[in-house]
Amino acid sequence: MVTTRFHVLPGGGRIAYRWQPGTGPATVFLPGYRSDMAGGKATALLDDAAAKGRACLLLDYSGCGLSDGDFADGTLGRWRDEVLALIAAVVPEGPLVLVGSSMGGWLMLLVALELGTRVAGLVGVAAAPDFTAWGYDAAQQAALARGETVLEANPYGPEATPTYPGFWADGQARRLLGQAIALDCPVRLIHGQADADVPWHLSVELAAALRSPAVQVVLIKDGDHRLSRPGDIARLLACVADLTEASPC
């Protein structure tokens, strides 16, 4: 059983994480928007790493899960810096494979651009880069630009999903698509073609933008946004093994 620990940030806030030591490259999982390390994909990655004696790091962003903070204060830039601080404290050396789910796929790219050659590979699961641009209609974007919070129906729970103007503005300043993304490591992008939240063609667009020549896109025809069915999880684990163990995906 891997226990939950806490890393204290310079400002005093605590970031919750779970660390499975082992051989590398170390897998680092980045959850989606309003998600945390208790989800099925994160748990499967940690369990698989423990069974194989491989290193794996899970975490909750500030304002999410067991970490301190208010979700309303979260931004991509803030969460990127938290991920970088945690990596520096827990796994300061050696190669890494970053796995990002939905918004975590955007954050994965931002973290990788900072870490450079330490990143041995990336795995995106319904990666959603730039969703502050394409994920909101004109009226919602105008409201966010005026400093208003936008609430949307949540298909996964009873509470509405909020987008705060600070998060939106920060995201707009960190858009990556439409230009070359200077990452050269191997990349695997998994996307369900029945995804109602993030269009599957976004992974194809991301593959074209990445500078790396070693990019593969895996499309699952009946896959939804979560990609948490047993077969979906098996595909994710195979793609992570492809990058950490040189096992064909």
DSSP 61: -
C-alpha dihedral (174, 178, 183, 184), degrees to nearest 10: 170
Q: Where are the alpha helices (DSSP H) in the chain?
A: 40-52, 76-90, 103-115, 131-134, 138-145, 165-172, 201-209, 230-244
Token pair recorded at residue 75: 């931004």
Query: Is residue 169 a part of any domain in this protein?
Result: no
pLDDT at 249: 47
pLDDT tens-digit series, residues 149-191:
999 988 777 889 999 999 999 999 999 999 999 999 999 999 9
User: Taking each helix axis from N to C terminus, what angle separates 76-90 and 165-172, rounded to the nearest 10 degrees?
Assistant: 80
Number of domains in the chain: 1
Weakest mean pLDDT among 68-77, 211-220, 238-247 = 238-247
Give the number of residues written for the chain.
249
Token pair recorded at residue 176: 């990556």
pLDDT at 121: 98
Whether residue 247 is predicted with pLDDT greater than 80 in this model: the reply is: no
Query: Is residue 170 a part of any domain in this protein?
Result: no
Query: Is residue 60 a part of any domain in this protein?
Result: yes
Query: Is residue 37 a part of any domain in this protein?
Result: yes
Domain that holds residue 20: 4-130+178-244
pLDDT tens-digit series, residues 60-119:
999 999 999 999 999 999 999 999 999 999 999 999 999 999 999 999 999 999 999 999
Query: Is residue 158 a part of any domain in this protein?
Result: no
Query: Is residue 152 a part of any domain in this protein?
Result: no
Write out the catalytic residue numbers: 102, 195, 225
Query: Is residue 138 a part of any domain in this protein?
Result: no
What predicted TM-score, i.e. pTM, was given to this entire model?
Answer: 0.96
Query: Is residue 107 a part of any domain in this protein?
Result: yes
Is residue 240 within 8 Å of residue 212, measured between CB atoms?
A: no
CATH code for position 219: 3.40.50.1820
